[in-house]
Chain A
Amino acid sequence: MGELGTVIYEKRDGTAYVTLNRPQALNVYNLKMRDELYQVLGAVRDDPEVRVAIFRGAGERAFCAGADLTEFLTAPPPVVARQVRRERDVWGLFLGLSKPLIAAVHGYVLGSGLEIAMCCDIRLASEDALFGLPETGLGIIPAAGGTQTLPRLTGRAGALEMLLTGRRVTAEEARRLRLVNQVFPRRELFPAAERLASRIQGYSAAAVSYAKQAIVAGLDLSLEQGLELEARLGRALVRAG
C-alpha cells in the first residue's frame, strides 16, 4: 500500500481500524480519500490476518460531513466520470466485502459520510451523531450507494423522507428508523465497537463470512432461492468443519 494522507489504516489482533483523517475539514471525502479508501478496502479484502474492520472518523466533530464540493466544480464530463467510476468502483468494492464491517460514528454523518457508514454491516453511533443526506438541496443525488442502501435499512418511506427533505436525524431517531443498531455515550462508543469486533472474531471466520453472504445475497433473491443459498453455504461449512 502506498503512503496514506487522508485515511489511517492500522491492524491490531485481527481487527483493521480505518480512520477517516481530515479532522480539520470534518473528514470531508475528497478524491484523494477516494483513492486511499480504495487501497485500504483492497487490503481489508486481501489480508488474511484481517478478520473484521472498524470504520471511524478522526477528531471530535465528525465521522464525515460529506464530499468536498470544491472538487465538484472541476468534475470531468459525465461520460468520462462514468468511465472512471467503472474503473475504480470504491462503492462496489466496499459493498462486496465478505468480512464483517463495523461503523462507529460520531458528530456529523452527512452525505458521503452516511453512505460510507451504510456500506458497513453494523452501525454504532454516539448520542451526538447527526445524520442526513443533503444532496437534493445541492442539485444532485447520493452516488455512493445511498439511494440503494438507505431504503434497504429503513424501508422506502423513511428513506424517501430523508432524501427528499434533506432533514437532519438525531442518533436516537436513527435508531428508531433502523439506520443505526445501537447508540452510546461518546466515551463508550469506541470500546463498544471493539467489544463487538472481538466478539465476532471469536467465531469461525468462514461461518461469519457465509452468514453475511447469506443475508446480503439472500435479500436479492426470492425466498426459495435464498433458502437454497443458505442450505448450500451451511453444507459447505459442515464439510469444512
Chain B
Amino acid sequence: MAYATLVYTLKDHIARLTINRPQANNMLNQQLAQELEEACQRINQDDDVYVAIITGAGDKAFCGGSEESMSLSPARAIASIDRPVIAAIDGDALGQGLELALSCDIRFASSRARFGFPQVGMGIIPADGGTQRLPRIVGRAKALEMVLTAGIIDAREALDIGLVSKVTEPEDLAPEVETLARNIAGKAPVALRYAKEAVNQGLDLTLDQGLRLEADLYFLLHTAADRAEGINAFLQKRPPQFGG
C-alpha cells in the first residue's frame, strides 16, 4: 500500500516508518495520523516484521507537533504495536510528536534533537498519552517540570533524565539505530513480543500479579520452536535460526 505522508519499507525483518512531511516539520495532520494507524496495524498483522523503526524525513524534525485537532490517536496506535519499536529522533519531537516518541520502546536521538510539551502555553494539555507515558519514563518530578513549564530540552538533558537512551552525532544516528534494530531482529520474535508484554502490562499490575503474568508467558514459550532452537544453538556455540 502506498502512503502520501509516510514511507513504509520492510527489509530483513525490520519495518521502517518514515514520517514524510519535511516541508511542514513532519507535523501531524488527519491524513498522516490515519496512515500511521494503518501502518501500525499492518505491522501487527505481518509475521515477517520482528522490529519497527519510526523516524522523520529530513533533518529538522522527528515530528514537530500537530497542525490540526483530530479525533485519531496515533500515539495509541504506535503503543498497540506488539513488537519492539525504536524511535530515531533527529530534530524536533514536540507536542504530539513527542507523544509518538513516548509510545516507542527505545528512543535514540541525534545531538540536535529537541523535546518539549508546549501545550499548556496554548491553554491545552498533552492529550495523546503524554501526561501518562512521560512520568512512567522519566518519573513524576521531571514530567511535571516539562509539562508545567512547557519548556524545551536538548538531547543532552533528555539523556540525563532517561527520556532517550542514547545520543549520537547526527550522521551516526541512522547507522546506530540500524545496528540496534539488527541486534533485536536476531532475537526470537515471540520472546521479544512476550518480553514487551510482560514489562508493559506488568507495570500496570501489582508485583504479584506481574510475576504471575511473567511465569505464564514463560511457560507458554515452552511450546514455541524458538526455545529449543535458542538453547541448542547456545549449547552448540552457533548462531540461532529463529522463526517463531
Contact = CB atoms under 8 A, between A and B. Distances in A.
Q: Are A and B associated in one complex?
A: yes
A118 B231 CA distance: 24
A157 B105 contact: yes
B130 to A, nearest CB: 15
Contacts of A204: none
Nearest to A75: B222
A131 to B, nearest CB: 15
A121 interface: no
Contact of B207 (A135, A137, A161, A219): A219
Given A141-B194, A156-B203, A160-B106, A73 B223 contact: no
A149 B136 CA distance: 15
A139 B202 contact: no
Interface stretch (A76-84, A102-110, A206-214, A233-241): A76-84
What is the size category of the interface that chain A forms with chain B? Answer: 35 or more
A139 B191 contact: yes
Nearest to B107: A157
B138 interface: yes
B120 interface: no
Interface stretch (B35-43, B170-178, B213-221): B213-221
Contacts of A219: 207
Contacts of B230: 137-140
A18 B67 CA distance: 60
Interface in A118-152: 135-143, 145-152
Interface string A91-104: 11001000000000
Given A139-B188, A141-B195, A158-B162, A151 B202 contact: yes
A164 B196 contact: yes
B222 A77 contact: yes
Contacts of B219: 78-79, 81-82, 85
What is the size category of the interface that chain B forms with chain A? Answer: 35 or more
Interface string A18-43: 00000000000000000000000000
Nearest to A167: B183
Contacts of B224: 139
Contacts of B184: 164-165
A180 interface: no
Given A155-B162, A159-B199, A164 B211 contact: no
A147 B198 contact: yes
A148 B203 CA distance: 7
B65 to A, nearest CB: 22
Contact of A136 (B138, B192, B213, B235): B192
22 contacts: A73-B232, A82-B216, A95-B207, A136-B191, A138-B230, A139-B228, A139-B240, A141-B217, A141-B221, A142-B214, A143-B218, A147-B210, A148-B210, A155-B162, A156-B136, A156-B200, A160-B199, A163-B199, A164-B105, A164-B184, A165-B187, A216-B207
Given A139-B190, A141-B217, 8 more contacts: A82-B219, A138-B227, A139-B221, A139-B230, A140-B230, A147-B214, A164-B105, A165-B187
